[in-house]
Chain A
Amino acid sequence: MRPLVAPTAVSGAPPMQRLAFFEREGPFGYALVLPAILYLTAFIAYPFAMSIWLSMTDASAGASKWNYIGLDNYSKVESWELIANDFVIFDGDKAEAQRIADQHKDEGKVVTAPDGDRFKASLQIGSHTIPVVETNGEDDATYLATTILNDLDWQVHGGKVVAHAADSPISFGTFEKRGDANDARKKSVLVDSTTHLKANGTGVQQDPNFLLAVKNTLKYTFGTELVKLFFGIPCALLLYKKFRGRQLLRGLLVIPWVIPIAISGQAWLWILDSTYSVINWLLVHAGIISPANIFNFRGDANLAMFSLVVVNVWRGFPFTTIVILAGLTSIPDEIIERARLDGANALQRFWYVMAPMVRPILMVSLLFSVVFSFTDFNTIWIITRGGPYDQTQVLSTYAYQVGVNAGYLGKGAAISLFLFPIMVVTVFGMLQWLRRENM
């Protein structure tokens, strides 16, 4: 065989002949990676670049022309809304506070009077006159003060009377400039309260459903990962032990992982059905709940999220278990035996010896399944479609909803790209940790 790398010429020796084309490593190497490069370009790099471009246009389905709009899809504030809640009406004597809270509905009334070029509304309750709101318009002031008086929940905390809006906080007006909104914040509310400025606009960051989707994605991902570890570790330890039927059990374990979710999802739909749910049936027949109180798994926002996590755990925890199991089996027997001789009991062997040795591989598996859950679309789409009322929408389903179903391609791209920086930071952090661990 001819050497593939030409040796440096020794004086006197004839110069090395140039290698024939087919014997050089370079071209062959490129030929081998060419399909991969083509694939990556066509199916990853191009769509990725395309979606970055899309997210910066006003592209929508049916539009003949896309206009560049910068980062407006990500964030575009059109107005600022002053929101306030928890108005402190009275702070003083305890008994007096209680009396005010008890009687404000019957005794209280709103008095509005001009104050310079503005109007000030006060609440009159018994002997107290409490200025609460000041606005430019007389009706506005009266309306806001009346709302505080009649529609809010007046609670007593010690000597304080606090008017609290349970459902939606009170809007004190919408302003084009942030500065105006801040001004109003100082001038309009005359009692202690919690205020904040809400940005209204057309960017996804101003979309409350988007913010909910971000929250849901995090809940879904980290809820799932924690539960997976919680079940995966004991399960792996169980299968690590030698017993009859271990191989069979290992085989059965991976079933949830290998069944396509499109199929197992149908079973779950039935399990979680609002009328025919087998869980409800069991609970009712066991006498634990009454037929009137059956769970509406996919109809209640919290239950729906919980159900999604359950399905994802069911699907993903075999993988976690197998990876941990692989980590455990790769620990040489002699190390465990030495730990026994060293005096470690089962718990200490796990904690001081096995866990640290499994940790790197566990992190790799965690990395994979975090990415998997974070970008999961199928499970949510099949089980809840993001419902009820978008309450279980995650980033991927919401991007699809907005980008494809509603046809706002640019916005959809912006939603799905929001995942990207979060993902990069998470993955980078985990890899960094792994590298340090392996030093």
Chain B
Amino acid sequence: MADVVLDKVVKKFGETEVVAGIDLTVRDREFCILVGPSGCGKTTTLRMIAGLEDVTAGDIRIAGETVTFKPPRDRDIAMVFQSYALYPHMTVRKNLAFALELRRVPKAEINKRISEVAEIIGLTPLLDRKPRQLSGGQRQRVAVGAALVRQSGVLLFDEPLSNLDAKLRVHMRVELKRLHQQIKSTMVYVTHDQVEAMTMGDRIVIMNAGKIIQVGSAMEVYERPATRFVAGFIGTPPMNFFEGEIRNGGIALGGDVQVALPRAVEAGRKVTLGVRPEHISLHAGKPHAAKVPSTVEVLEPLGNRTIVTARSPAGVLQIEAEANPGLKPGDAIELWFDMSRAHLFDQASECAL
């Protein structure tokens, strides 16, 4: 059992509050992703769990035990740093063995664990090299390996893939996910890449400005974003937003565009309408579809589909169309919003309605 509990954790650097009282429970053996824009406090949160940063207020518990004031080495935690933090003067083998030797694990056990881990992540042929003789991807794997041999209850990752090229990143994503299924550790993984966030974890914790905005599975946060921030943060291309007001059972958007709403909302309320690009169609036919006249501005063919950027009286928007929509810039088109999949947010509070 190695669940991680953050209880009203606050972190201040001087006067600036970087983490503003967060509550979070990461369940045993869960793969939990912390995601959010740059500077929102993800790394700080992770470092507080590791004990590298002290906590201004609140409590941290690991496996039921309060560790708030314990030094890092007494927390049963291993961490993979963004820069990998390999010891440059040690061979790969020594890098893996170091923590175990310090903990006086018997030699035979160390060797056994190293060869196991090396096998799992494909380091066996590299064991006698120094870090500088490795490629970026190999170093990254050594860093993961050094964390794995510890067999600690909790594994922390701070953007471990952000220094890799796109292809290797996709590959490592899958590998890490597979790894999680093989080992018994609880994993907390920090990223600001929303694709990593969506694909890798059991649960996603979305942070912004030092607060947790929403916690849920990938599908939950995608389908039911709690705030406009989450809605805009999750999904590519991002959700289209239109400011408007509830009037006559529908929403009056800018430029005299009026769309009908499938559910009742009190009249006069200022709202933001959010529609994902894949929920806007070039063709009529769906129930609850609202028509918005627009002009094509840019076409971005991706092979299997095309991203169309268009200008409507309510604002610029992006839609996902089929591979060959037969359009060219300047074409006047009619767009159909699938209002049953649309999201409404209160303009003042930015919360979902």
A residues apposed to B, CB below 8 Å? 332, 334-335, 337-345, 348, 352-353, 356-357, 439
Contact = CB atoms under 8 A, between A and B. Distances in A.
B102 A337 contact: no
Contact of B77 (A332, A341, A345, A357): A341
Contacts of A342: 73, 98-99, 102, 150
A340 B85 contact: no
B73 A338 contact: no
Contacts of A357: 87-89
Interface string B69-89: 001110001110111011111
B168 interface: no
B235 to A, nearest CB: 32
A221 B119 CA distance: 52
Given A337-B85, A338-B85, A357-B88, 15 more contacts: A332-B83, A332-B85, A335-B86, A335-B88, A338-B81, A340-B51, A341-B50, A341-B52, A341-B72, A342-B99, A345-B73, A352-B98, A353-B87, A357-B87, A439-B130
A340 B72 contact: yes
A285 to B, nearest CB: 48
B89 A341 contact: no
Contacts of B85: 332, 334-335, 337-338
Contacts of A352: 98
Interface of B: 50-52, 71-73, 77-79, 81-83, 85-89, 98-99, 102-103, 130, 150
A124 B236 CA distance: 114
B156 to A, nearest CB: 9
Given A337-B81, A338-B79, A343 B103 contact: yes
Contacts of A345: 73
Contact of B52 (A332, A340, A344, A348): A340
28 contacts: A332-B85, A334-B81, A334-B82, A334-B83, A335-B85, A335-B87, A337-B52, A337-B79, A337-B81, A339-B87, A340-B51, A340-B71, A341-B50, A341-B73, A341-B78, A341-B99, A342-B73, A342-B98, A342-B99, A342-B150, A343-B73, A344-B102, A345-B73, A348-B102, A353-B87, A357-B88, A357-B89, A439-B130
A357 B132 CA distance: 13
A337 B102 CA distance: 15
A334 B82 CA distance: 9
Contacts of B83: 332, 334
Contacts of B130: 439
A343 B87 CA distance: 14
Contacts of A356: 89
A439 B51 CA distance: 35
Q: Which one of B85, B99, B130 has the highest number of Cβ atoms from chain A below 10 Å of its Cβ?
A: B85
Q: Which one of A335, A337, A342, A352 has the highest number of Cβ atoms from chain B below 10 Å of its Cβ?
A: A342
Chain A residues touching B, majority SS:
helix
Nearest to A331: B88
A356 B81 CA distance: 21
A178 to B, nearest CB: 53
A338 B51 CA distance: 11
Contacts, number: 55
Contacts of A344: 73, 102
A337 B86 CA distance: 11
A244 to B, nearest CB: 15
B71 to A, nearest CB: 7
Contacts of B102: 342-344, 348
Contacts of A338: 79, 81, 85, 87
A345 B78 CA distance: 16
B24 to A, nearest CB: 21
Q: For the complex of A and B, list the 8 residue pairs with the smallest distance between their C-beta atoms, beginning with the closest.
A: A342-B99, A343-B73, A334-B85, A338-B85, A343-B102, A356-B89, A334-B81, A341-B72
A340 B103 CA distance: 12
A301 to B, nearest CB: 44
A337 B50 CA distance: 10
Nearest to A337: B52
A376 B287 CA distance: 94
A343 B99 contact: yes
Nearest to B83: A334
A264 B266 CA distance: 86
A334 to B, nearest CB: 4
A380 B83 CA distance: 50
Contacts of B51: 340-341
A335 B51 CA distance: 15
A320 to B, nearest CB: 21
Nearest to B71: A340
Nearest to A344: B102
B272 to A, nearest CB: 41
Q: Which one of A334, A335, A338 has the highest number of Cβ atoms from chain B below 10 Å of its Cβ?
A: A338
Given A334-B81, A348-B102, A352-B98, A340 B87 contact: no
Contacts of A340: 51-52, 71-73
Contacts of A343: 73, 99, 102-103
A334 B50 CA distance: 12
Nearest to B94: A352
A340 to B, nearest CB: 5
A351 to B, nearest CB: 11
Contacts of B89: 356-357
A322 B145 CA distance: 36
B218 to A, nearest CB: 29
A142 B85 CA distance: 81
A145 B73 CA distance: 77
A353 to B, nearest CB: 6
Contacts of B98: 342, 352
A343 B79 CA distance: 12
A356 B89 CA distance: 7
Given A348-B102, A352-B98, A341 B87 contact: no
Contacts of B87: 335, 338-339, 353, 357
Contacts of B103: 343
Nearest to A341: B72
Contacts of A334: 81-83, 85
A353 B102 CA distance: 12
A39 to B, nearest CB: 37
A344 B89 CA distance: 16
Nearest to A439: B130
A39 B299 CA distance: 66
B88 A341 contact: no
Contacts of A332: 83, 85
Nearest to B143: A338
A366 to B, nearest CB: 18
Contacts of B99: 341-343
B86 to A, nearest CB: 8
A348 B99 CA distance: 11
B149 to A, nearest CB: 10
A298 to B, nearest CB: 45
Contacts of B52: 337, 340-341
B68 to A, nearest CB: 16
Contacts of B72: 337, 340-341
Contacts of B81: 334, 337-338
